[in-house]
Amino acid sequence: MKKLVSLILFGLLSLQIFAGGYRVGLQGQRRLAMGHAGVAVVDNAELAFFNPAGLVYLEDKINIAFGASAVFSDVVWQNSEFGEMARTDSPVGTPFYVYASYKVSDWLSVGLAAYTPYGSSVEWPNDWSGSHLVNNIDLQAIYVQALASIKISDKLSVGGGPIYVNGSVDFNRNLNRTLSNLEGNRANVTVKASGVHSWGWSVSAMYNPIDKLRLGINYRSEIMVEAESGDAVFSNVPNSSLTPPFENTKFDASLPLPAELSVGLSYEISDKWLVAFDYNRTYWDVYQSLDIDFAKAGIPDSKNPRNYKNSSVYRFGAQYVANDMFTLRAGYYFDESPVQEGYFAPETPRNDAHGFTAGLSVNINKNIAIDASVLYSRFEEVDASYDYYSENGQSVSFEGTYKTSAFVPGLGVTFKI
């Protein structure tokens, strides 16, 4: 019975990635090309995500921005003591965004946003050394937000609106490190939950103390996601009196998405040059434990410790208007990991990360522009372990060296009339 409890506990860790343990910072090609800095940059409808208060300063009646990125990630785990190594074989992720704003009057703009800040696909080799923690994960999440932007004065505006979240998860792991059926196939479980949804909100402000300087702030609330009646399906479990009955069951869990606060500034050095800086604080300390309510009688409710810490992201970007057709951008960010020592699990193989970005916009005409960006994200190599897996009543650590990187090209379109 204890095996079954620990099994589903670790299966649900994949849902915690869905809840924010793995953050996908790809919410706009123009802002990504500038190190994902944009809280105080008034450029196009990407403001719907970065700072809705700025939408009212867009000059055109209608402003639409949409696009997608292709995420090519590579994670390598190695344990030199035992001569073991594994590498992920992950499908290409394609996070997208669609933003639209409409200027109702000089003092009011409204908007709509759809974007994918959480979601990933990770596949480790079958029966690798960490298969008792994770084999593969497929995560999907979509945020939809209605927005309003109100100009208080020529220098000050406020904005925000409600957020609706909907997503799903499909996760697989082996039951433990050795259990197999008579054919030698490892016993495993697939944990699925779909229609996971909840509500949140955001509020923002923008202030222009002088013509060339803008200040911005954006707060996104914590969102409590309720996973109800998820399915746990067991496969290749041997029929033995020594093995507990691993029957298919249901579960419920409440999963918090942490609140985020972003502040930033932008400054126009000249008609051609603009620089920007953002500071983002994510309140990960809400992840002290993951509470799980099992539907099957006899399985006790459980807590899984995570002990995440609050973390920060520092973003720097620059933009250069070369001529009427081309605008060039570049940037850098440093993203702190919220994972503390002893809590590093292979379904969230991330450490402190350095992001190097570049991109450009090509103005096809006065109404349409093509936006492109590229990101190379390098995670610092880390020797880490997860110390909270239990088997046969004993804690078993899983440790090794992780090397992670990602290459992300992206393409978008800005349309305005």
How far is Cα 322 from Cα 211, in angstroms, rounded to an integer? 22
Q: Look at residue 326 in the predicted model and tell me its pLDDT.
A: 98
Q: Look at residue 163 in the predicted model and tell me its pLDDT.
A: 97
Out of 35-44, 60-69, 127-136, pick the least confident: 127-136
Residue 191, beta-bridge partner list = 171, 232
Q: What does the pLDDT average to over 297-326? A: 82
Q: Which amino acid is located at 406 in the chain?
A: A
Q: What is the CATH number of domain 2-416?
A: 2.40.160.60
Strands (DSSP E) contained in 269-379 are 273-282, 289-294, 302-305, 311-321, 326-335, 353-363, 368-379
Q: Look at residue 290 in the predicted model and tell me its pLDDT.
A: 64
Q: Look at residue 390 in the predicted model and tell me its pLDDT.
A: 80
C-alpha closest to that of 191 among 142, 154, 125, 139: 139
Determine how many CB atoms are found less than 10 A away from the CB of residue 348.
23
Which secondary-structure segment (H or E) carries 131? none
Q: Look at residue 19 in the predicted model and tell me its pLDDT.
A: 26
Confidence of residue 218 (pLDDT cuts 50, 70, 90): very high
Question: Is the overall model pTM greater than 0.95, yes or no?
Answer: no
Question: In this structure, are residues 38 and 313 in contact, taking their beta carbons and an 8 Å threshold?
Answer: no
| 246-265 confidence digits (pLDDT tens) | 678 887 766 677 899 999 99
Residues in the chain: 417
